[in-house]
Amino acid sequence: MTNPRQLAFIALRDVHKGAYADVALDRVLQKVNLPDNDRRLVTELIYGSVRRQRTLDTLIDQFAKKKSYQQPQDLRTILHLGFYQLRYQERIPASAAVNTTVQLAKENGFSGLTGFVNGLLRQYLREAGEQGGRGAEEKNSLLLPQSPVPSPQSPAPHFAPLQLPENPVERLGILHSFPDWIIQVWLEQLDFEETEQLCEWMNQSPTIDLRINPLRTSIKEVEVALESAGILVRRIPHLPQALRFIGNTGSIQKLPGFKEGWWTIQDSSAQLVSHLLDPQPGEVIIDVCAAPGGKTTHIAELMVDKGKIWACDRTSSRLRKLQENSQRLNLQSIQMYTGDSRQFNQFQNTADRVLLDAPCSGLGTMHRHADARWRQTPESVRELSVLQKELLTHTSTFVKPGGVLVYATCTLHPAENEEVISAFLAESPDWQIESPAGFELPEFVRSTPQGWFKVWPHEQDMDGFFIVRLRKTNNSE
């Protein structure tokens, strides 16, 4: 079977039974040998349907007699695929979107409902036509222009208007497909317009950044090697090791320089963290939640691979990934340690610097993890904040007097960031926030009066991050 839409349906059925979207995607792609275009279509349909789930359910609610939750789950999934193609896929003709969705219904146990599927999607198209047919999703927004904005090069998707409530939280949640609680968290930190921009950014397909290994090569050498292979990249200001891929790359492992250890994949926001830690050659560094090791290997590069890095993680299988990467990058200074860092007592007062890249809800990286917005809840965030406080309290004892600890997350939730640090500082008089010395942070990184740093994705086109650098006073016991 090589029908991309049927493969997407099978994967989405697994997602609705609890599978992670990326795992479900890998599972279906491993069973077939698809051309690159079809692989991209399967990927787009799966991730897009998961991301836009709330909006697609709202369309079913709006156009069908039975609400989305009342539909058979497999039929609901098929309708998601149909509506997703009509509303969000510029290159798929409306007729193809409708016909292939009807065919999916026929082949997956709903042959008696093909007329219903056909009628529902065509009713949507009729309403889109009556409203000017093709235009921008943002017609539904509270702020943006209400007139369609057609592309001169290619037709935009069809946008029948969504019936949206006046409440700004629900309105943004339905329009951009997020749970209300996430919208509420953002609106408490940003104004409406910025929150909408952040929603739009999180619904984009993610970019891929790499970090060159200066111990093996130079950024210029990597640029030349990739461009000679027809792969376009651009530099990222203020990040001396960072390049961003432009367009499709094909298999990452087959690109020039990968096997040779010239570079590794790491988002530009994550690269900021190790610069803020500012490790020095010959020091002892402990990375207490190290796997899969992007920041650990970056620390080794910044130390010129001289000194000792203890890479700790609870999961030995994830540490194996770090081991593979450090071997490929030809790094010698990293030693693995398996276990829960909250239980370690052997590292007391031994580290010049500690990195706590804390387990978090990942709300700054939801564009990469299509289902994260539906998996995380206010309860899971509360549980994570307890874990983060425990990790910070215990691993801070690893730092020598006068040493540094950097706390970082890829979430934008204050309960996992500002509140964790404020609680720690209130209980730890021998610790204080410190501005970075050796690395000039980019201007776009928001430094707050309290001294911590936030990267907002919609402002700088990179993952959302929170980073704070703490120093232990010399008179600490």
Rounded to the nearest angstrom, the gap between the alpha carbon of residue 397 and the centroid of all alpha carbons in its chain is 31
Residue 312 designated active-site: no
Non-local CB neighbours of 259 within 8 Å, separated by 6+ positions: 253, 328
Beta bridge partners, 211, equal: 242, 264
**In the structure encoding, which two tokens stand for residue 280, read together?**
């020095």
Alpha helices (runs of H) in 303-364, residue ranges in sequence order: 316-328
Q: Compute the distance between CA of residue 443 and CA of residue 127 in angstroms, rounded to an integer.
A: 46
Q: Compute the distance between CA of residue 270 and CA of residue 242 in angstroms, rounded to an integer.
A: 11
Residue 250 half-sphere exposure toward CB, CA atoms < 13 A = 11
Q: Compute the distance between CA of residue 205 and CA of residue 250 in angstroms, rounded to an integer.
A: 15
Residue 423 half-sphere exposure toward CB, CA atoms < 13 A = 15
Question: What SS3 class is residue 405?
Answer: strand
148 preceded by a cis bond (ω within 30 of 0) = no
Handedness of CA 30, 36, 42, 44 (dihedral sign): positive
Q: Compute the distance between CA of residue 44 and CA of residue 47 in angstroms, rounded to an integer.
A: 5
Catalytic residue among 199, 289, 360, 410: 410
Nearest alpha carbon to residue 98 among 89, 106, 86, 110: 86
* Contact by Cβ (8 Å): 473, 430: yes
End-to-end CA distance of the chain: 66
Q: Compute the distance between CA of residue 199 and CA of residue 461 in angstroms, rounded to an integer.
A: 13
Listing DSSP states for 26-59 in one string gives HHHHHTS---HHHHHHHHHHHHHHHHTHHHHHHH
Radius of gyration, alpha carbons of the chain: 24
Nearest alpha carbon to residue 388 among 436, 365, 422, 353: 422
Nearest alpha carbon to residue 332 among 294, 289, 301: 301
Active site residues: 410
